[in-house]
Structure 1
């Protein structure tokens, strides 16, 4: 097995963990087993350990000696920092994409299809799939920027946002991402860079506003369950 094969396997494991977070199958504080995952994915513990180390570098996993790797716990301060950082990165992404659309008339149909899927999943109460579809929208939009630095900077922030939502999200909120995603695409299509950036910033503000940081005893609940 050459280095490229190892790199591909590690990336597959990273994406596997991301998907498990997107679909809410991995909760904050969950301990991950190298041996169990290696068996499940038919690979070696060494490859899994390298993937876990990469996820630790991204901030997705934490590690303590004699305790192993755990999915990180997101504090209120960390959650706010995550969305502040996302606003900086995604405003830049939207600016690039809107300027590209101004010059090249980008095909945005795949993003609109993504939004239709979001709405369908939300109305069908398929919450895990809906969350993943909403995340895919942001990552697919980033891909249109063709800026690898911004894409790679955003990628770990999306699952971290989901982990924050798992802890703090107000279950009674009526917030639906697909409505605001539609507005964003229409603004990009209008080729108004300033407006498009403002719509993205307002959207991310709303994503943060639906988190309820007054919720108490959440950490004990999650850690007890895991």
Structure 2
């Protein structure tokens, strides 16, 4: 079954918006139009509104009464602060997960499946979905720790990391998260906590280095596709 086959129309709209941000058709601060997107995708405004609400919950969109939905404005400083926080949180996550693996209390097969899906999306040039899946890998790793405090601390940072990746992606960068995720899985399997934590730290540093902050997002007043 193709990955796309299991998506609802609402999910497809969410992925469509991710791709629109990734390809710079949508910019930070831009206002979204329910009617324009409904016509573009041959969907009802109700479904579009639900997709917008889902993106708002994820932190990708903001909503203000009488002003509608806007793509969140994320600066270089914001993006770097997000990853600084993630390094602290995910060091704790990888320590717990590595400990659990050393005690044979952990099945890493779900992570391997996620990495395979990442590579598939990257090769298929489904870039918006790829960025999202790449960031979601870290949330899946957090869930394996079974530490609700760390999971809840990481949750709001993942969609913001997705947005940073969509806005500041550099097409010239050869960075592939799925390769480094495989290295991270192997580091956890080594049962060496210090080594696994160092690999996680290096990976998050590389995530920031792969962003091109020379890209200057511009604010626009209309939601337009194909221009």
Instruction: Give the TM bin, normalised by the shorter chain.
Output: 0.7 to 0.9
Paired residues for 1:196-211 under 5 Å: 196-211=196-211
CA apart distance, 1:99: 1.0
SS at match of 1:133: helix
Calculate the TM-score normalised by the size of structure 2: 0.74
Q: Aligned pair 1:39/2:46, yes or no?
A: yes
Q: TM-score, normalised by structure 1?
A: 0.75
Q: Secondary structure at the match of 2:106?
A: coil
User: What corresponds to 1:72 in structure 2?
Assistant: 72
Deviations 1:78-122 (A, max 9, x none): 111111111111111111111111223411112112212222222
1:180 to partner: Cα distance: 0.5
Distance in 1, Cα, partners of 2:207 & 2:75 = 16
Please name the residue that 2:218 is paired with: 219
Higher relative contact order (CA 8 A, sep 6+): 2
- Asked if the contact 1:91–1:201 (Cα under 8 Å) also holds between the matched residues in 2, the reply is yes
Question: Which has more helix, going by share of residues?
Answer: 1
- Aligned residues between the structures: 202
Q: Give the CA deviation at 1:29.
A: 2.7
Tell me, yes or no, if the aligned pair for 1:24 and 1:128 is still in contact at 8 Å.
yes
Is the CA contact (8 Å cut-off) linking 1:22 and 1:162 kept in structure 2? no
CA distance in 1, matches of 2:223, 2:49: 27
The 3 A distance-change label for structure 1 pair 176 and 39 is: same
Q: Could you list the runs of 5+ residues in structure 2 that have no partner in the other structure?
A: 1-9, 39-43
After superposition, where does 1:121-200 map in structure 2 within 5 Å? 121-200=121-200
Per the alignment, residue 24 of structure 1 pairs with: 19
CA 1:76–1:223 in 2, change beyond 3 Å: closer, same or farther? farther
Mapped to 2, the partners of 1:113 and 1:214 lie a distance apart of 34
